[in-house]
Amino acid sequence: MLSSNSCIICEDSISDPVCRSCYLKQIEILLNDLKLQEVVNEIILNKIKNKFLIETLNDTGCILCKRENVAMCRYCFSIMLINILKELNFTENLIEEFGFNQMHEEIFKENQRNRKEK
């Protein structure tokens, strides 16, 4: 059962509660810093918006804007973002620019396997 501060993907506790809107703002800043074409930025942001669920039972507010409740932990968000970038054929070097740590994905997959076994 989910607690009032659980990620909707991995069900782990969210230690750095950031909402969907704030994550999207952070990604927009990163994309602008990378100086990608505007159409590439829009494609990435639209894919994130479509995969990032808004609904949540969490009652924990965002630590940045304090307006929205959080739905996803930063690890799951990172994995979702990296999967989108891989899907769009971004190079590993460009993916590293987003600060992705391969360890996050391995921990996430291990947690998912453990949950399925229970």
Average pLDDT on 74-103 reads 77
**Residue 73: CA count within 13 A, CB half-sphere:** 17
- What per-residue confidence (pLDDT) applies to 1? 41
- Of 48, 51, 73, 50, nearest to 62 by C-alpha is 73
Average pLDDT on 16-34 reads 86
Residue located via tokens 């590993």? 92
Terminal CA-CA length for the chain: 13
Confidence class for position 91, pLDDT limits 50, 70, 90? confident
Residue type, 85: L
Confidence class for position 112, pLDDT limits 50, 70, 90? low
When computed from its CA atoms, the radius of gyration of the chain, rounded to whole angstroms, is: 15
Asked whether the whole model's pTM tops 0.75, one would answer no
- What per-residue confidence (pLDDT) applies to 23? 87
- What per-residue confidence (pLDDT) applies to 78? 83
Bigger pLDDT: 63 vs 115: 63
Confidence class for position 2, pLDDT limits 50, 70, 90? very low
- What per-residue confidence (pLDDT) applies to 101? 56
